[in-house]
Amino acid sequence: MTLTSNSIRSLLEIKDPNIKIDDIFDSFIHHTKVRIIKACLIIHQRRCPLCGFEDLVHNGHYTSTITYTSDNASHPIFIRLAKQRLKCKNCGHTIMAKTPLVNKYCNISNRTKAKIIMNLQDDRTQKCVAVDNNVSPSTVGRLIDDYRELYPVFPEQLPKHLAFDEFHVVHHQLHFICIDGGGNTHRIIKILPDRLAEALFSYQYDQLSKPMATVIKHLEIVLNAAENEQSNGPDH
């Protein structure tokens, strides 16, 4: 049985009808066996969005390699997508085909991003999530920053055991994270804007002095040598 473009799109759950699958083959990238899906994204537009003339002509393709979701992390899937470009003969304006499969100027599919966000709901490290989705840990860090509103900022009821520690985010920057230290939940309570002791003490003064903070029985703060020196300075 020969698979058609529509059947392959259905298997991959690609909803955009403007994407035509041309070929599927295995290859090697950085000594890792991967599956390449060769596809073309066509654009159906007759009128130039700039001048309004119906004088658009084909102007080649822009090809990008997009990371896609895979059930087997050891055998990644990439879509080599050729996006059609059009040029207006009247004003010279160029346009390129767009798709909900991936955002503009991005090589990671929105489906992969959604899977990463779902993985982050579990008690797993950024590196582990990155390996399972064939992306870099810094990509996972950027998604955490982009979708910060999905994570709890400050709950109505504080836990009995509160812990503060530092962790790496994008560009190797360090931030303080406040988590529920009781049991094995490690629920995120708050991510502070940086790793400086000033931010930590400011958060403690503004938030932990509220009446609901009286439920806290155990408070643990991990400070390195530089932070200890700052916290013992004349201003604190």
| pLDDT tens across the length of the chain (236 residues) | 467 878 888 888 898 999 999 999 999 988 889 999 999 999 988 899 999 999 999 999 999 999 999 888 889 999 999 999 999 999 999 999 999 999 988 999 999 999 998 888 776 788 889 999 999 999 998 888 787 666 555 455 566 666 766 665 544 555 666 666 666 666 666 666 655 666 666 665 565 656 655 566 666 666 664 544 444 444 44
User: What's the pLDDT at 120?
Assistant: 81
Distance CA 194, CA 176 (A): 6
pTM: 0.64
**CA distance linking residue 54 with residue 128, whole number of Å:** 51
Q: Return the HEC string of 158-227.
A: CCCEEEEEEEECHHHCEEEEEEECCCCCCCEEEECCCCCHHHHHHHHHHHCCCHHHHHCCEEEECCCHHH
Eight-class DSSP state of 46: -
Gap between the Cα atoms of 70 and 77, Å rounded: 6
Helix (H, G, I), strand (E, B) or coil at 57: strand
Domain 152-231 has CATH 3.30.420: yes
